[in-house]
Structure 1
Amino acid sequence: MKKYLISVMSLGLVLSLAACGDNNEETTADNNNNNEDVNEVENENNAGNDNNDVNNDNDAGDQEEVSLNFWLFGATGYPDLAEQYMEENPHISIEFQEIDMEDHHNNLFTALSAGSGAPDMAALEVAELERYRGAEDSFYNLNEFGAGEMEGQYLDWVWQLGQDSDADYLFGLPTDIGPTVMFYRADVFEEAGLDSSPEAVESMMATWDDYFDAAATIFEETGKPMTDNPELIFNALRDQSEELYFNPENELLLETNPEMREAYDFTAEMIAEGYVGSYELWSPEWGSGMEEGSYATLLAPAWMQGVIKDNAPDEENWRMATLPEGAGNWGGSWITVPAQSEHPEEAYAFLNWLLSPEMQLEAFLNMGLFPSSPDVYEMEEFQNYTDDYFGGQETARIFAEAAEVVEHNYTGPNYSDVNDEMVDGLYNVLDGADPDDEWESMLDRVDQRINR
């Protein structure tokens, strides 16, 4: 993720994409293969229909065929779900492109900049939303198709992320999210003489001070750090704050917002005591540590459970509990309809169906995409979901509880720049830098970076 964010920064997406005619990104001819010629539809679908009656009042045999292109990153399982929609709407065909996240956003940037080649539907990762807010002309405002009627289906903070500051422009419909929890090693807790049951762990670590005390016990009894690296513990603290690095007027808050300094100082104190490991995120050692039990906790989002299983497929000691004092969010996507689409009504009608609570449940059960709709959390199949890998815990319920306490925080176009410097500063502290001196150096680097 860090590597990706650094790469995306170089694209300069803060400029207005709609007005950008000179494109310096290298791409291949294959990037535009999905921009197919389609027939003009004479009878438009009613995009405001609810999920159960989209197109049902029309005789598909009387409708002209429509071909839609859908660009995604990663594996979503959406092509399989779309088969059902196309069976119910035989005049609609949908072609998918699923590639890695960096190439996906580069290709979309290229197509929007060139004014041609964009698909009918395209995913935007949450970190990309701020960078596209200056390019509203490049996307349809989904409020024009009645999307506002769907707002009640989604968590408030998720819906707010996809809007502009005036709440009158909607970039896209939300898909999955990444509520954060505490993954932990039951065997490490037991080695330290602590009760390892999820109920006991949550009770034992209701606050961050409790977390610090448990870290001291674990380090003293086992010699193992409480957490893998400074980045993830800082992320957990940061995302529980009322304000982050900027206010909605894009004024930098680092010197006036005490919460960010408190999160930094807490992480630095954990480092000083030896409670933070040096297993850098995404490194081979970090992955091996999951299997070997090299650290006690991993503070991470819902999608991290797949990473843990991949790195430690035969382990039986991973469990999960809620974070001390709340939760944050890391990850998630919104599906947009680029303005180049000739069939926005049909694209929206499909998205209305695909991202309904019923289909979000299917995406969760099939691919583990955690739902952004709280309606799903009330469904019996969701509530009864358990995971044998995590000792039979009701993992879906735990993530849902976290998702419902997340608060919306403003990020701003320079958020990634500042966050990179904060994380680099904490790694410097891990390498021996004085925390106070490094804080001042970090402020200087931030100033140079956002004002250059």
Structure 2
Amino acid sequence: MKKGKFLLISGLVMVLIFMLAACSKDSNADGKNEEVTLKFWVFGATNYDELAKEYEKENPGVKVKVKTSENDDHHNGLFTALSAGHGAPDLAMIEIDQLDRFKEAKDRFVNLYDVGADKVKDKYLDWKWEIGESEDGDFLYGLPTDIGPKAMFFRTDLFEKAGLPTDPDKVQEMIQSKDDLIQAGEKIKEKTGKPLVDSMEMAYRAVIDGATESFYDEKGNLLVENDGNAVKKAYDLAVEFNDHGLVGDYDMWTPEWGNAVNNGDFAIEMGAAWLKGWMKDNAPDASEKFRVATLPKELAGNWGGSYIAIPKETKHEKEAYKFAKWLTSPDNQLKSFKSDAGLFPSSPEVFDMEDFKNIEDEFFGGQKTSQYFADAAKDINFVYKGSKYKPTQDEVLNALKNVREGADPDKEWKEAVKRMKKLQDR
């Protein structure tokens, strides 16, 4: 063989080897595609472990490793990893109150509009989708998971002792405003000796969770000293409830609070849909003693919910989005709702499904509670919260706790505003 011909053949062989190597980049020695592993960080109670197993069966070659942490640990760990530029997962849940904090790290996330999210936009509530976008609407940080529409969880035994109706629709007719609620609370206090609500926080949330403004505007200006500001209205309502003797001294998630829910030591929770799951697991003695009614519109709102985001660091952008889209689809949102986690759907398509409408809650005496929350979900509005929402709100809650212990409300508010201004300047 001539030398030139030999070199030509050798060159073609080398090219062929490189081409085969490139084609087999994701293949193993048996010619099968290598497994793609997606790291998925979540917080709190979800059914995502079970849904991930289902997805793996439907998508051979894909593994989803779900890591569950407590809320603060999860978000702090995610923020640290994103800031460092390494160690972030392929997908991560982000809670709605934390989202604006992460929006400041826009360059660390995949814009889900770039991978086709605009095609599923119409499957979700408008306000929920809008919160997940950038200010100009060109960037989508995450796909919507659950929401937290609020309703009134009320103790039928305490209402009955106070001479009040116990049928949910009649309770709704009776309580059309905050003044109606205060009047009902005074009757309950008089006849049973029990407070209307568990805490100053719960009274405060009656207004703030449904407000169309919060602590900051989108330019970072603090709004709390403006006339008619929602935060001040919420603060004043909590003080008013306390002045009428309608507030208990229980901090949510403490053992004392759990016992109070279980034993009926207060009459109502103005709680989100996810509270149902907690009550079923942690307040067995309260079974069949609670019912759900719609809150007055001025006291309704959203408390909680999350998004599924994809950090830019991922090497599996398309696979991660495909899983996120599947996980948050209407059918799988229904599964998440029917699971023990009870994640309330952000897709209104679910609200019309028979499996959704016909669920009977044994804990609530067989009541079909789903529609009460679905109706509330449609009346919720977009609100900008800002990256410092959580620490700023903590200042208000600390002030209210001091008021509950006897401090002067006006003085506590002024001191809280000073602390909020310091946070703004950081």
- Tell me which amino acid in the other structure corresponds to 2:274: W
TM-score normalised by L of structure 2: 0.88
Alignment counterpart, residue 364 of structure 1, candidates 337, 350, 354? 337
Instruction: Give 1 or 2 for the bigger CA radius of gyration.
Output: 2
Aligned to 1:323: 295
Aligned equivalents of 1:180, 1:424: Cα separation in 2: 23
Aligned equivalents of 1:66, 1:178: Cα separation in 2: 33
- After superposition, the Cα gap between the structure-2 partners of 1:126 and 1:42, relative to the gap in structure 1 and judged at 3 Å, is farther
Q: How does 1:344-355 map to 2 (within 5 A)?
A: 344-355=317-328
Aligned equivalents of 1:41, 1:341: Cα separation in 2: 21
Alignment counterpart, residue 395 of structure 2, candidates 421, 438, 445? 421
- Tell me which amino acid in the other structure corresponds to 1:321: A
Aligned equivalents of 1:176, 1:123: Cα separation in 2: 11
Aligned equivalents of 2:45, 2:242: Cα separation in 1: 36
Are 1:342 and 2:315 matched, yes or no? Answer: yes
Aligned equivalents of 1:162, 1:450: Cα separation in 2: 23
Aligned to 1:77: 47
Aligned to 2:272: 301
Where 1:87 maps in the other structure, the secondary structure is helix
Aligned to 1:162: 132
Aligned equivalents of 2:317, 2:96: Cα separation in 1: 22
- Tell me which amino acid in the other structure corresponds to 1:275: L
Aligned equivalents of 2:371, 2:130: Cα separation in 1: 23
- After superposition, the Cα gap between the structure-2 partners of 1:302 and 1:345, relative to the gap in structure 1 and judged at 3 Å, is same
- After superposition, the Cα gap between the structure-2 partners of 1:90 and 1:136, relative to the gap in structure 1 and judged at 3 Å, is same
Deviations 1:207-227 (A, max 9, x none): 111111111111122221111
Are 1:234 and 2:204 matched, yes or no? Answer: yes
TM superposition shift of 1:257: 4.2
Aligned to 1:273: 244
- Tell me which amino acid in the other structure corresponds to 2:238: T
Q: Which range is displaced more, 98-107 or 357-366? A: 98-107
Q: Does structure 1 conserve the Cα–Cα contact (< 8 Å) formed by 2:210 and 2:302?
A: no
Q: Does structure 2 conserve the Cα–Cα contact (< 8 Å) formed by 1:243 and 1:257?
A: no
Deviations 1:119-173 (A, max 9, x none): 2111111122111111111111000011011111111111111111011111111
Aligned to 2:144: 174
Aligned to 1:101: 71
Q: Does structure 2 conserve the Cα–Cα contact (< 8 Å) formed by 1:157 and 1:408?
A: yes
TM-score normalised by L of structure 1: 0.84
Aligned equivalents of 1:68, 1:425: Cα separation in 2: 43
Deviations 1:198-240 (A, max 9, x none): 1111111111111111111111222211111110111121122
Aligned to 1:118: 88
Aligned equivalents of 2:295, 2:23: Cα separation in 1: 51
Q: Does structure 2 conserve the Cα–Cα contact (< 8 Å) formed by 1:377 and 1:383?
A: yes
- After superposition, the Cα gap between the structure-2 partners of 1:249 and 1:41, relative to the gap in structure 1 and judged at 3 Å, is farther
Q: Which range is displaced more, 266-275 or 76-85? A: 76-85
Unaligned runs of 5+ in 2: 1-20
Where 2:98 maps in the other structure, the secondary structure is helix
Q: Does structure 2 conserve the Cα–Cα contact (< 8 Å) formed by 1:180 and 1:236?
A: no
Aligned equivalents of 2:78, 2:414: Cα separation in 1: 38
Q: How does 1:221-260 map to 2 (within 5 A)?
A: 221-258=191-228, 259-260=230-231
Give RMSD over aligned pairs. Answer: 2.1
Aligned to 2:358: 384
Aligned to 2:5: none
Aligned to 1:34: none
Q: Which range is displaced more, 120-129 or 145-154? A: 120-129
Where 1:392 maps in the other structure, the secondary structure is coil
Aligned equivalents of 2:353, 2:327: Cα separation in 1: 17
Aligned equivalents of 2:91, 2:319: Cα separation in 1: 10
Where 1:127 maps in the other structure, the secondary structure is coil
Aligned to 1:31: none
TM superposition shift of 1:43: 11
Aligned positions, number: 398
Aligned to 2:371: 397
Where 1:226 maps in the other structure, the secondary structure is coil
Aligned to 1:48: none
Aligned equivalents of 1:122, 1:270: Cα separation in 2: 39
Aligned equivalents of 1:41, 1:96: Cα separation in 2: 30
Where 1:281 maps in the other structure, the secondary structure is coil
- After superposition, the Cα gap between the structure-2 partners of 1:109 and 1:439, relative to the gap in structure 1 and judged at 3 Å, is closer
Where 1:179 maps in the other structure, the secondary structure is strand
Aligned equivalents of 2:22, 2:346: Cα separation in 1: 33
Aligned to 2:154: 184
- After superposition, the Cα gap between the structure-2 partners of 1:177 and 1:42, relative to the gap in structure 1 and judged at 3 Å, is farther
- After superposition, the Cα gap between the structure-2 partners of 1:251 and 1:392, relative to the gap in structure 1 and judged at 3 Å, is same
Alignment counterpart, residue 216 of structure 1, candidates 186, 189, 195? 186
- After superposition, the Cα gap between the structure-2 partners of 1:163 and 1:423, relative to the gap in structure 1 and judged at 3 Å, is same
Aligned equivalents of 1:107, 1:436: Cα separation in 2: 38
Aligned equivalents of 2:132, 2:25: Cα separation in 1: 30
Unaligned runs of 5+ in 1: 1-38, 45-60
Identity of aligned residues (%): 45
